[in-house]
């Protein structure tokens, strides 16, 4: 369904950012996720436009495909850093066990430790 109130190609009502309804964005503009699927990254370009949906409660930013750059694969050093961060985030600080999930931040330890503490 066409919702005229979200079609604002000049961006006059949205702080100068061209605003479109979901599915009404002009060609050549894509979200970061859509660009990633094409092997591209927005690079340093500014946000070109935004789309609103769910009655304006959800927003997605659009970038120009012609300004996007090819995504470079991560270097070995970047991969090592990612792995290290992952190990830190998935190791329980209380019992030292490494899990295949991230330790929940709101518990600060693994679920076994958290449950054990609750039971005591």
- List residues near Zn ion by CB under 5 A: 92, 94-95, 109-110, 113
Rounded Cα distance between 81 and 56, Å, is 38
Q: How far is the CB of 6 from Zn ion (least distance, A)?
A: 47
Q: How far is the CB of 63 from Zn ion (least distance, A)?
A: 41
Contact criterion met (CB below 8 Å) for 40 and 67: no
Structure tokens at 73: 């694969």
- Smaller CB separation from Zn ion, 46 or 108: 108
Q: Could you tell me which of 41, 107, 109 has the C-alpha nearest to residue 99? A: 109
50 alpha-carbon distance from chain centroid: 15
- Smaller CB separation from Zn ion, 41 or 91: 91
- Smaller CB separation from Zn ion, 25 or 103: 103
- Smaller CB separation from Zn ion, 68 or 92: 92
Q: How far is the CB of 97 from Zn ion (least distance, A)?
A: 5
CB hemisphere CA count around 71 (13 angstroms) = 13
Q: How far is the CB of 82 from Zn ion (least distance, A)?
A: 23
Contact criterion met (CB below 8 Å) for 92 and 62: no
């Amino acid at each position: 369904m066409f919702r005229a109130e979200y079609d604002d190609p000049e961006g006059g009502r949205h702080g100068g950012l061209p605003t479109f309804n979901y599915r009404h964005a002009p060609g050549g503009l894509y979200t970061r996720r859509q660009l990633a699927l094409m092997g591209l990254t927005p690079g340093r370009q500014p946000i070109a436009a935004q789309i609103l949906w769910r009655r304006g409660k959800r927003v997605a930013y659009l970038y120009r495909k012609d300004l996007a750059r090819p995504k470079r694969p991560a270097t070995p050093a970047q991969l090592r850093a990612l792995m290290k961060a992952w190990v830190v985030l998935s190791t329980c600080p209380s019992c030292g066990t490494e899990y295949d999930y991230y330790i929940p931040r709101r518990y600060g330890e693994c679920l076994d430790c958290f449950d054990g503490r609750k039971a005591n």
